[in-house]
Amino acid sequence: MPASDSLSSLAFDPGLDVRPRSSDLSFEYGPGVFGPPSELRKLDDIRKSLRDPMCDGPDPAYGIAMDVGKLSHRSELTRRSLLFGLVAYAPGLLGREPVRSQGHIHAVAPHCGWSTPELFEVWEGCAIIYAQQSVGDHPGKCLAVKAGPGDQVVMPPGWAHYVINAGITTRLVFSALCEREYGFIYDGVRARGGLAWYPLVNGQKIEWEANPHYALSTLELHQPRPYPELGLDAAIPIYKQFELNPDRVQWVSEPGQLEAIWPDFEP
């Protein structure tokens, strides 16, 4: 794949020679870039956290390619226990909801003893990244961050979250930097039929409905914000920040480096 053509279908340059295929939910990798075939998430995989578990919709709903990067960085990503992944969502509806993931909490990573944070970056389309502090009876603070191409959103340790294709009729593509030994915990989410708020499509708008299996909560709608407290530069793509200075994003796999920040941190 010629480098000049590698980003022709993306809304911004992510600093990595990768292109989502227009025919499906997978990716093409340019010279010097490694990456796996996409794993496809079927509708049956996410039904238990949807407002209407028996709904129809795009199937598969999305594709995930975990462990992507430049060949020259492969050993360094592994040494630092960092994992860069790509996700492509289909357009369409799951019942009355836009295409979305089912929601989860990150398991405690053996590498560091933390439920680790995650760093998202939208490449194409429009995303809403929903987050809540807990999957207990009371969800705590609930936030929804609407993000477009180039926007970065940080999910703090221990928060439950899912990602929505807020473009509804268009494809969503985003990347995520996470801990290499990541694991997902779904039990609490599935036990309550999803997270505390459902996104419902009304025309071209997304409205929100509370999940009655949680105590009453308030949903805050946010815009992306800079994260100077984490050392991030919102003007530089995530992968490029790793390439320029890997220490800048080491908190993703070693959140204990910034232990004092997390108790009051919000996405």
Taking the domains of the chain in order of start, what are their residue ranges? 3-260
Q: How far apart are CA 85 and CA 83, in angstroms?
A: 6
What pLDDT, on the 0 to 100 scale, is given for residue 12?
85
Specify the pLDDT at position 35: 98
Question: What pLDDT does 5 receive?
Answer: 39
Residues forming beta bridges with residue 127, ordered by sequence position: 147, 165
State the DSSP H helix or E strand holding residue 41, giving kind and residue range, or none if neither.
Answer: strand 39-41
> How confident is the prediction along the chain (267 residues), in pLDDT tens digits per residue?
343 333 346 778 999 999 999 889 999 999 999 999 999 999 999 999 999 999 999 999 999 999 999 999 999 999 999 999 999 999 999 999 999 999 999 999 998 999 999 999 999 999 999 999 999 999 999 999 999 999 999 999 999 999 999 999 999 999 999 999 889 999 999 999 999 999 999 988 999 999 999 999 999 999 999 999 999 999 999 999 999 999 999 999 999 999 999 999 999
Maximum pairwise Cα distance, the chain:
53
Burial class (CB in 10 A: 0-12, 13-18, 19+), 31: exposed
Answer whether 240's CB lies under 8 Å from 232's CB. no
At the second CATH level, the architecture of 3-260 is Sandwich (2.60)
Beta strands 219-222 and 172-179 are unpaired
* Distance separating alpha carbons of residues 223 and 24, to the nearest angstrom: 30
Tell me 136's DSSP state.
S
pLDDT at 9: 62
